[in-house]
Protein backbone atom coordinates (compact mmCIF):
# COMPACT_ATOMS: atom_id res chain seq x y z
CA UNK A 1 0.00 0.00 0.00
CA UNK A 2 2.24 2.75 -1.32
CA UNK A 3 0.32 6.02 -1.18
CA UNK A 4 1.05 9.61 -2.20
CA UNK A 5 -1.15 12.36 -0.76
CA UNK A 6 -1.93 15.32 -3.02
CA UNK A 7 -3.89 18.46 -2.27
CA UNK A 8 -3.47 22.19 -1.82
CA UNK A 9 -2.05 23.69 1.40
CA UNK A 10 -4.85 23.58 3.97
CA UNK A 11 -6.79 20.81 2.18
CA UNK A 12 -6.24 18.50 5.15
CA UNK A 13 -4.04 15.92 3.45
CA UNK A 14 -1.62 15.76 6.42
CA UNK A 15 -4.45 14.89 8.80
CA UNK A 16 -5.72 12.18 6.44
CA UNK A 17 -2.19 10.81 5.96
CA UNK A 18 -1.82 10.41 9.73
CA UNK A 19 -5.21 8.66 9.97
CA UNK A 20 -4.25 6.27 7.14
CA UNK A 21 -0.94 5.57 8.90
CA UNK A 22 -2.70 4.78 12.20
CA UNK A 23 -5.38 2.55 10.65
CA UNK A 24 -3.18 0.53 8.32
CA UNK A 25 -0.01 0.45 10.42
CA UNK A 26 2.20 2.03 7.77
CA UNK A 27 4.60 4.98 8.26
CA UNK A 28 3.44 8.54 7.57
CA UNK A 29 6.42 10.11 5.83
CA UNK A 30 6.85 13.85 5.33
CA UNK A 31 9.95 15.36 3.77
CA UNK A 32 10.27 17.74 6.75
CA UNK A 33 10.48 14.76 9.14
CA UNK A 34 13.05 13.03 6.91
CA UNK A 35 15.23 16.14 6.77
CA UNK A 36 15.09 16.59 10.55
CA UNK A 37 15.85 12.89 11.26
CA UNK A 38 18.84 12.77 8.89
CA UNK A 39 20.26 16.07 10.17
CA UNK A 40 19.80 14.97 13.80
CA UNK A 41 21.47 11.61 13.12
CA UNK A 42 24.30 13.27 11.20
CA UNK A 43 23.91 11.06 8.11
CA UNK A 44 25.78 11.85 4.92
CA UNK A 45 22.52 12.83 3.20
CA UNK A 46 21.53 14.92 6.22
CA UNK A 47 24.82 16.84 6.14
CA UNK A 48 24.32 17.58 2.44
CA UNK A 49 20.73 18.78 3.01
CA UNK A 50 21.86 20.97 5.94
CA UNK A 51 24.38 22.87 3.78
CA UNK A 52 21.52 24.03 1.54
CA UNK A 53 19.07 24.72 4.36
CA UNK A 54 21.63 26.75 6.33
CA UNK A 55 21.95 29.06 3.33
CA UNK A 56 18.17 29.37 3.02
CA UNK A 57 18.24 27.46 -0.27
CA UNK A 58 15.84 24.77 -1.46
CA UNK A 59 17.26 21.27 -1.22
CA UNK A 60 17.79 20.04 -4.84
CA UNK A 61 15.35 17.47 -6.22
CA UNK A 62 18.04 14.83 -6.61
CA UNK A 63 18.95 15.00 -2.92
CA UNK A 64 15.30 15.07 -1.78
CA UNK A 65 14.59 11.95 -3.86
CA UNK A 66 17.66 10.22 -2.38
CA UNK A 67 16.42 11.01 1.14
CA UNK A 68 12.88 9.76 0.37
CA UNK A 69 14.10 6.57 -1.33
CA UNK A 70 16.47 5.89 1.57
CA UNK A 71 13.48 6.22 3.94
CA UNK A 72 11.05 4.00 2.01
CA UNK A 73 13.73 1.30 1.72
CA UNK A 74 13.70 0.85 5.51
CA UNK A 75 12.13 -2.22 7.10
CA UNK A 76 9.09 -0.45 8.57
CA UNK A 77 7.97 0.43 5.01
CA UNK A 78 7.77 -3.21 3.90
CA UNK A 79 3.93 -3.15 4.07
CA UNK A 80 3.72 0.33 2.53
CA UNK A 81 3.83 4.01 3.45
CA UNK A 82 2.02 7.33 3.03
CA UNK A 83 4.09 10.11 1.42
CA UNK A 84 2.90 13.56 2.49
CA UNK A 85 4.26 16.67 0.77
CA UNK A 86 6.32 14.78 -1.80
CA UNK A 87 6.57 14.74 -4.76
CA UNK A 88 5.72 18.41 -5.40
CA UNK A 89 6.80 18.64 -9.04
CA UNK A 90 6.89 16.46 -12.17
CA UNK A 91 10.72 16.06 -12.08
CA UNK A 92 10.46 14.82 -8.48
CA UNK A 93 7.67 12.38 -9.45
CA UNK A 94 9.68 11.04 -12.39
CA UNK A 95 12.82 10.63 -10.26
CA UNK A 96 10.82 8.86 -7.55
CA UNK A 97 9.24 6.48 -10.09
CA UNK A 98 12.66 5.65 -11.57
CA UNK A 99 14.13 4.97 -8.12
CA UNK A 100 11.16 2.84 -7.05
CA UNK A 101 11.36 0.86 -10.29
CA UNK A 102 14.97 -0.07 -9.46
CA UNK A 103 13.67 -1.40 -6.13
CA UNK A 104 10.99 -3.40 -7.97
CA UNK A 105 8.28 -1.16 -6.54
CA UNK A 106 5.82 1.53 -7.65
CA UNK A 107 3.21 3.98 -6.36
CA UNK A 108 -0.16 2.28 -5.75
CA UNK A 109 -2.42 5.28 -5.09
CA UNK A 110 -2.14 9.04 -5.51
CA UNK A 111 -4.98 10.41 -3.37
CA UNK A 112 -6.00 13.97 -4.21
CA UNK A 113 -7.90 15.74 -1.42
CA UNK A 114 -9.93 18.18 -3.52
CA UNK A 115 -10.95 21.48 -1.92
CA UNK A 116 -11.85 24.67 -3.85
CA UNK A 117 -9.50 27.61 -3.29
CA UNK A 118 -12.18 29.81 -1.71
CA UNK A 119 -12.88 27.11 0.92
CA UNK A 120 -9.18 26.91 1.77
CA UNK A 121 -8.86 30.69 2.14
CA UNK A 122 -11.87 30.72 4.50
CA UNK A 123 -10.64 27.66 6.38
CA UNK A 124 -7.09 28.94 6.92
CA UNK A 125 -7.98 32.55 7.69
CA UNK A 126 -10.16 31.23 10.52
CA UNK A 127 -7.18 29.61 12.25
CA UNK A 128 -5.80 31.13 15.42
CA UNK A 129 -2.59 30.21 17.23
CA UNK A 130 -1.49 30.85 20.81
CA UNK A 131 1.57 33.12 21.03
CA UNK A 132 2.71 31.32 24.18
CA UNK A 133 2.03 27.54 24.07
CA UNK A 134 1.38 27.11 20.32
CA UNK A 135 -2.12 25.61 20.72
CA UNK A 136 -4.27 26.06 17.60
CA UNK A 137 -7.96 26.91 17.24
CA UNK A 138 -10.45 27.76 14.53
CA UNK A 139 -13.00 30.54 15.00
CA UNK A 140 -15.76 28.36 13.49
CA UNK A 141 -14.75 24.70 14.00
CA UNK A 142 -12.69 24.74 17.24
CA UNK A 143 -13.31 28.13 18.88
CA UNK A 144 -11.64 29.01 22.21
CA UNK A 145 -13.96 29.38 25.22
CA UNK A 146 -13.12 33.11 25.35
CA UNK A 147 -12.64 34.90 22.04
CA UNK A 148 -8.96 35.66 21.35
CA UNK A 149 -7.72 33.88 24.49
CA UNK A 150 -6.05 30.44 24.72
CA UNK A 151 -8.00 27.84 26.75
CA UNK A 152 -4.76 26.19 27.89
CA UNK A 153 -2.60 29.05 29.12
CA UNK A 154 -4.67 32.24 28.87
CA UNK A 155 -2.30 33.92 26.39
CA UNK A 156 -3.39 35.90 23.34
CA UNK A 157 -4.40 34.15 20.09
CA UNK A 158 -3.17 35.50 16.76
CA UNK A 159 -3.76 35.00 13.05
CA UNK A 160 -0.37 33.83 11.77
CA UNK A 161 1.09 35.50 8.68
CA UNK A 162 0.98 32.12 6.91
CA UNK A 163 -2.78 31.96 7.40
CA UNK A 164 -3.62 35.49 6.22
CA UNK A 165 -5.82 35.46 3.07
CA UNK A 166 -3.23 37.22 0.86
CA UNK A 167 -0.50 34.72 1.91
CA UNK A 168 -2.81 31.74 1.41
CA UNK A 169 -3.72 32.96 -2.09
CA UNK A 170 -0.02 33.23 -2.99
CA UNK A 171 0.65 29.72 -1.70
CA UNK A 172 -2.31 28.39 -3.69
CA UNK A 173 -1.00 30.07 -6.86
CA UNK A 174 2.37 28.34 -6.39
CA UNK A 175 0.60 25.04 -5.71
CA UNK A 176 -1.50 25.23 -8.89
CA UNK A 177 1.52 26.10 -10.99
CA UNK A 178 3.89 23.46 -9.63
CA UNK A 179 1.86 20.65 -8.14
CA UNK A 180 -1.38 20.62 -10.15
CA UNK A 181 0.45 18.98 -13.13
CA UNK A 182 1.05 15.97 -10.85
CA UNK A 183 -2.68 15.30 -10.95
CA UNK A 184 -2.45 14.84 -14.74
CA UNK A 185 0.76 12.80 -14.32
CA UNK A 186 -0.81 10.29 -11.93
CA UNK A 187 -4.08 10.25 -13.89
CA UNK A 188 -2.13 8.98 -16.91
CA UNK A 189 -0.64 6.27 -14.71
CA UNK A 190 -4.15 5.21 -13.60
CA UNK A 191 -3.30 5.60 -9.91
CA UNK A 192 -5.04 8.93 -9.20
CA UNK A 193 -8.15 8.90 -7.01
CA UNK A 194 -10.01 11.96 -5.72
CA UNK A 195 -11.93 12.58 -2.53
CA UNK A 196 -14.11 15.56 -1.62
CA UNK A 197 -12.10 17.40 1.03
CA UNK A 198 -14.91 19.86 1.82
CA UNK A 199 -16.72 17.16 3.82
CA UNK A 200 -16.23 16.38 7.50
CA UNK A 201 -12.80 14.90 8.33
CA UNK A 202 -14.29 11.49 9.24
CA UNK A 203 -16.34 11.39 6.02
CA UNK A 204 -13.23 12.13 3.95
CA UNK A 205 -11.39 9.34 5.76
CA UNK A 206 -14.26 6.90 5.20
CA UNK A 207 -14.12 7.68 1.47
CA UNK A 208 -10.37 7.01 1.45
CA UNK A 209 -10.86 3.69 3.26
CA UNK A 210 -13.41 2.63 0.65
CA UNK A 211 -10.85 3.43 -2.09
CA UNK A 212 -8.18 1.41 -0.27
CA UNK A 213 -10.61 -1.50 -0.05
CA UNK A 214 -11.36 -1.56 3.67
Q: Specify if 127 maps to a domain.
A: no
Q: For 124-167, write each residue's pLDDT tens digit.
A: 999 999 999 989 999 988 999 999 999 999 999 999 988 999 99
Q: Specify if 155 maps to a domain.
A: no
What is the pLDDT at residue 137? 95
Catalytic residue set? 13, 88, 127, 160, 171
Q: Specify if 84 maps to a domain.
A: yes
Query: Is the Cα torsion angle 163, 165, 167, 172 positive or negative in sign?
Result: positive
Give the phi and the psi of residue 42 in degrees, each rounded to 5.
65, 30
pTM: 0.84
- CATH number at 203 reads 3.40.50.300
Burial class (CB within 10 angstroms; exposed 0-12, middle 13-18, buried 19+) of 84:
buried
Other CB atoms closer than 10 Å to residue 121's CB: what's the count?
19
Q: Specify if 150 maps to a domain.
A: no
What is the pLDDT at residue 214? 67
Question: For residue 61, what pLDDT band results from cuts at 50, 70 and 90?
Answer: confident
- What's the mean pLDDT in 105-119? 95
How many structural domains does the chain have?
A: 1
Query: 21 or 55: which carries more pLDDT confidence?
Result: 21
Amino acid sequence: MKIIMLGAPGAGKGTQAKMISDKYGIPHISTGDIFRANIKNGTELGKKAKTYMDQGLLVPDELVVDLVVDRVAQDDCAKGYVLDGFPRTIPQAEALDAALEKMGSKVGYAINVEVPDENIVTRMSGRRACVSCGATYHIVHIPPKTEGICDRCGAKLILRDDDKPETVKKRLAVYHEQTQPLIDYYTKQNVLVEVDGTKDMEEVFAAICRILGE
